[in-house]
Amino acid sequence: MFEVLAKNDFVVSSMDIHTSSVEFVDVEVWTKADTMDHISYDNGNEWKKVLSVKVLGKGLNQATTLPGFTNYIEMSANRVRSFYVTLKTRQMIFSRGSTLGKEYVSNTDVGIKTGILRTYLFGESHSPWDWDGRIHYITR
């Protein structure tokens, strides 16, 4: 789970993930408006599933591209949205983060914050971890 800070208005159109697998994996993407507070860590009811798909993993050091979202995810300037990108197996690659909630990668449109590693489905959690994926977006 991680937070995305919009610095300008845009829509999230798709994502890439980083998995160790070179076989088919089941991927789910969940999102919720606002921050991932301590309640949302344990309560899947606040989250909306926006993608459930089986994709062929590209393996270590390769981006595994997910299909585009049917409905793009709106991001408004100066607002935060949380994402939970998960596999049904423990083959998602993350990097050890430094500080929960710290922006670890950014550009003029978007910032991604250090979050927590969360097993499927809203299972055990560990922090701080940086998501090793990519967000594809279209500015408005």
Quote the pLDDT of residue 45. 78
In a structure prediction context, what are the per-residue pLDDT tens digits for the chain, which is 140 residues long? 999 999 999 999 999 999 999 999 999 999 999 998 755 555 667 899 999 999 999 999 999 999 999 999 999 999 999 999 999 999 999 999 999 999 999 999 999 999 999 889 888 888 999 999 999 999 98
Q: Which CATH architecture has domain 2-139?
A: Sandwich (2.60)
User: What is the DSSP code (8-state) at residue 44?
Assistant: G
Q: What is the pLDDT of residue 123?
A: 87
- What is the value of pTM for the model shown? 0.94
Among 139, 135, 137, smallest CA distance to 15 is for: 135
Burial class (CB in 10 A: 0-12, 13-18, 19+), 37: exposed
**Helices then strands, each counted (H, E), the chain:** 1, 13
